[in-house]
Structure 1
């Protein structure tokens, strides 16, 4: 483990704030290639008796193919000082350029799962479930504004393997 991080067994932050107010990256490694994308939506909870994190990825995203093939991923949460770098990951595709090099963020690995040295909190996950969002499943909520093009997300649920927090 990176010496700048310590493993924790309990979150000290509000999970709603973490997923709603903070900017975070989903990172995945396939072979020798690592990619990350900015996420706007996610969930933390318990499913089938294990702690889990869930993220949503559109099939049009480059990261989608990697998430389909790989079993592990990380969620990396950053302080506001990295807002510009994190937002860049949502504006540019890895099909076009090397986002890691362009932003200057530093990759680290734990159990061969990529995460960013600059993150303040990292959740390492092993994929246990995936499911396409079904537009007929929306009840008492109109998701139409989010899916005008019909590019519905796929949900990926990961068992939380470790939570790493930046050492003070």
Structure 2
């Protein structure tokens, strides 16, 4: 497992360019693009915090299986796949096939990771989830990100493994 400061730096440097958040409902995997998130240390363990909108297939999967993986590209070689997975729904197509991606078993084996080189892999187990209260958000952020769209559920998850492929 990578040391926390190693994967935290990669995550912080690359998350705004997009990463893959992969879930599995026990049978079928799906991935979506995330561009927001943070890595930290809560409850005396390494954690990642991500947000998923209520309307996403990923949210449905997380309701069933409380684990996910994040595959963070360390360069721009996954740019097109990140773009596709951020604009299409897994309800409508197989995003893996459409984006030219493949999955492989994660080390824990619960939820797969994106198979490829140049990816920081974070295996995560949900510790806490909460529907955000957009009325508690600063008005300028609420007006920019939550006009007529659904709120996010905020997930804090334990990082059970972190490694570079």
Match of 1:46 among 17, 20, 41: 41
Counterpart for residue 116 of structure 1: 114
CA-atom RMSD, angstroms? 1.6
Q: Sort the Cα spacing of 1:142 and 1:94 in 2 relative to 1 into closer, same or farther, 3 A.
A: closer
The aligned counterpart of 1:8 is 2
Report the Cα distance in structure 2 between the residues aligned to 1:86 and 1:135, rounded to whole angstroms. Answer: 27
Aligned counterpart, 1:81: 77
How far off its partner does 1:114 sit? 1.0
Counterpart contact for 2:51–2:153, Cα < 8 Å: yes
Aligned to 1:25: 20
Q: Distance in 2 between matches of 1:96 and 1:42?
A: 26
Deviation, 1:16, is 2.7
SS at structure 2 position matched to 1:87: helix
* Structure-1-length-normalised TM-score: 0.87
Aligned length: 159
Aligned residue for 2:141, secondary structure, equals coil
Residue equivalent to 2:92: 96
Give the deviation of 1:138 after TM superposition: 1.8
> What is the aligned partner in structure 2 of residue 4 from structure 1?
none
Give the superposition deviation at 1:61.
1.1
Q: Is residue 2:154 matched to residue 1:159?
A: no
Compute the displacement of 1:15 (Å): 4.2
For residues 22-61 of structure 1, what are the alpha-carbon distances to aligned partners after superposition, in whole Å with 9 as ceiling and x for unaligned?
A: 3101001111100000012111111111110011000111
The equivalent of 1:107 in structure 2 is 103
- TM score, norm. by length of structure 2: 0.89
Determine the C-alpha separation between the residues in 2 that align with 1:64 and 1:11: 29
Of Structure 1 and Structure 2, which has the larger fraction of its residues in helix? 2
